[in-house]
Amino acid sequence: MNAEEVQLHIFQSIKNALPPQLSAVDEVAAVLNISTDSAYRRMRGEKQLSMEELVLLCTHFQISLDRFLNLKTEGFLFSGKFMQPSNFKFDQYLLGVEQQMKYMTTFKEKRMYFLPKDILIFHHFQLCDIAAFKHFFWMKTLFQAPEFLKKKFDFSSYPDELFIISKRILGCYLQLDATEVWSIENINSTVRQIEFYHQTNMFQSDEDVYRIYEAFEKLIQHIEEQAAFGYQFDIDDPKKKPQAPFALYYNEVILGDSSFLVELDGKRIVYITHSIANFMATRDVQFCDNMHEHVHNLMRKSTLISAVSERERLRFFKFLRSRITNKKEKLKV
């Protein structure tokens, strides 16, 4: 592949990555700080990109030159941000998630495959009590925010503006065709967090602990209903209006790693979480194709329990609820 062909392939990759309503020439012109006419000449191959322009485009649009140059480096290009405890702002984190989710909703075909090892953060946003607890746990235990170190959990201290942002994120998520592969371990992380805070006297009272377990039960019930219907809906919607399809698989032996695959109008992105709250993403075709194969192989080895397999679904969710019920019964409320 010669230099002109590489340049044309780069611009085609940029076009494929952009939502349908965005103009590739306008985006390129803005990144390179040139006129649209100059951008057109580069996109048609009439003017060669400079090294500086190439760096700007590859950095902004997260493009790896390796695959265009056919370099066998055995490396994959990921992008992401590190969240440092010293300057972590939960509202900024949520706004970043919202930006990503809004981007996904701009595509005609939008599908997500999740391999969670915990309850997905999007499900937390269905209920304010769960969102409040997770926010407190993150800020106090994960990031050790100074203002949380001497505080006990309090439902009333959860800022309304955070829940408003989280509901907007949920609204975006409900527009995406979602497939999740669960095991019976998926609720363990949240159960252990609640139990740990109870044992270390981080709740105001046993009534608050009971309230969290009640909310957790309600969330599990909601996810079960979504699985039964085969579609997603807002927990606050009394009519349970269908939104995007929801597929839930049960795997008895394999625990997810919290990675997920996104397909947007046929193009793929893989997100991998690491260090608990950080994540990185790649559009590398080889990596994404491998992930796609892995996800579908895992689905074939799992039991579909949404819309079908009622007996397996009831058995699965009965076990999950029993874990929470057992914890509730030990409380003296």
Evaluate whether residue 55 is within a structural domain.
yes
Do 93 and 229 fall within a single domain? Answer: yes
Quick check: is 12 in a domain? yes
Separation in Å, CA 69 to CA 49, 59, 66: 15, 17, 5
pLDDT band at 253, cuts 50/70/90? confident
Average predicted confidence (pLDDT) for the chain:
88
Q: Is 129 contained in some domain?
A: yes
Same domain, 104 and 245: yes
Domain extent for 13: 3-69
**Together in a domain, 12 and 140:** no
Question: Are 49 and 169 found together in one domain?
Answer: no
**Shared-domain flag, residues 238 and 302:** yes
Q: Which residues pair with 81 in a beta bridge?
A: 279
Instruction: Name residue 304's amino acid.
Output: L
Helix (H) or strand (E) holding 215: helix 206-229
Is 45 buried (19+), middle (13-18) or exposed (0-12) by CB count in 10 A?
middle
List, for residues 21-72, the tens digit of each pLDDT value.
788 888 888 988 888 888 888 888 888 888 888 888 887 877 766 666 654 5
**Domain end among 47, 69, 91:** 69
* 176 and 60 in a common domain: no
What pLDDT is stored for residue 83 in this prediction? 72
Query: CB-side exposure of 43: number of CA atoms within 13 Å?
Result: 21
The pLDDT value recorded for residue 221 is: 96
Task: Write down the pLDDT at residue 144.
Answer: 87
The domain tally of the chain equals: 2
Report pLDDT digits (tens) over 73-93.
566 767 777 777 777 888 988
Say what the pLDDT of residue 69 is: 61
Is there a domain that residue 314 lies in? yes
5 versus 129: the higher-pLDDT residue is 129
pLDDT of 320 over the 90 cut: yes
Is 65 in the same domain as 163? no
Q: Is residue 18 part of a domain?
A: yes
Residues 29 and 112 in one domain: no
172 shares its domain with 275:
yes
Q: Contacts for 255-258 with beta carbons within 8 Å, 24 or more apart?
A: 255/117, 255/183, 255/185, 256/114, 256/115, 256/116, 256/117, 256/181, 256/182, 256/183, 256/186, 257/115, 257/117, 258/115, 258/116, 258/117, 258/118
Predicted confidence (pLDDT) at residue 332 exceeds the cutoff of 70:
no
Give CA separation, 329 vs 214, 297, 325, in Å.
11, 39, 6
64 located within any domain: yes
- Over residues 264-313, the pLDDT tens digits come to 998 899 998 876 667 888 888 889 999 999 999 999 999 999 999 999 99
Residue scoring higher pLDDT (36 or 216): 216
CA distance 294 to 148: 40
The reply to whether 74 falls in a domain is: no
Tens of pLDDT, residues 120-171: 999 999 999 999 999 999 999 988 888 898 999 999 889 999 999 999 999 9
Give the per-residue pLDDT at 66.
Answer: 62
Residues 98-108: tens digit of each pLDDT? 998 999 999 99
Task: Tell me which amino acid residue 128 is.
Answer: C
What pLDDT, on the 0 to 100 scale, is given for residue 143?
87
Q: What span, in angstroms and rounded, lies between the C-alpha atoms of 146 and 140?
A: 8
CATH of the domain at 59: 1.10.260.40
pLDDT at 7: 79
> Phi then psi for 113, rounded to 5 degrees?
-120, 125
Q: What does residue 9 show for φ and ψ, rounded to 5 degrees?
A: -65, -35
Amino acid 262: pLDDT = 95
Q: What CA–CA distance (Å, rounded) separates 272 from 270?
A: 7
148/277 same-domain check? yes
Supply the pTM of this predicted model.
0.79
**Is residue 110 over pLDDT 80?**
yes
Please give the average per-residue pLDDT across 6-12, as a whole number: 80
Residue 54 lies in a domain: yes
Whole-number percent of the chain with pLDDT over 90: 54
Domain boundary among 69, 90, 124: 69
The average pLDDT across 245-271 equals 90
Domain boundary among 25, 46, 69: 69
Per-residue pLDDT at 219 exceeds 80: yes
Residues 91 and 22 in one domain: no
Q: Find the mean pLDDT for residues 228-250.
A: 96
61 and 188 together in one domain: no
What confidence score (pLDDT) does residue 43 get? Answer: 85
